[in-house]
Amino acid sequence: MELHDYRADDFDSLWELDQQCFPPEIAYSRRELSYYLKKKSAVVLVASDDAKLLGFAVGHVDARGFGHVVTLDVAPGERKRGLGSTLMQGLETRFRDAGCGSAFLEVAVNNRAALSFYKKHGYTVLKTLRRYYPGGLDGLLMGKQLE
């Protein structure tokens, strides 16, 4: 497995994987994903093996001193092998290197696998985000102090 920073030719593969990982109402449109990838504050790690996309993580370094995890996507057939942890640790390292003291993310209340994963990585629920997702689904704001 290889980790690399985002390259423009990764875009289609990343978008297709995001469509596989999330329900249509939550998955990013091409325009939304492009927006997050092109921001100057973006931190994007891509995991691949023999030119096959395995997963990716998108985050942003906020000028106020925190990192924001935008999305973490792992191909369905690659889950439970530690790839998500590798991507999360890579993002957190980049956040720390940029001077961030904490990291935040949002997750749907019904995404039990993601909630368990984030809790395993030290994130705690900070508050409920009422009707955060399409269809009125609540989200949870989770955070972690970075050391």
pTM of the model: 0.94
User: Domain 2-145 falls in which CATH fold?
Assistant: Aminopeptidase (3.40.630)
Question: Which residues pair with residue 69 across a beta bridge?
Answer: 59, 105
What DSSP letter does each residue of 15-63 carry, written as one string? HHHHHHHS-TTTSPPHHHHHHHHHSTTEEEEEEEETTEEEEEEEEEEET
Q: At residue 102, what are phi and psi to the nearest 5 degrees? A: -155, 165
pLDDT, residue 147, reads 79
Q: Which two tokens stand for residue 143?
A: 């955070």
Query: Would you place residue 107 in the very low, low, confident or very high pLDDT band (cuts 50, 70, 90)?
Result: very high
pLDDT tens digits along 41-53: 999 999 999 879 9
Query: Would you place residue 6 in the very low, low, confident or very high pLDDT band (cuts 50, 70, 90)?
Result: very high
**Cβ partners under 8 Å of residue 73, min gap 6:** 14, 17, 18, 21, 22, 55, 56, 57
pLDDT, residue 105, reads 98
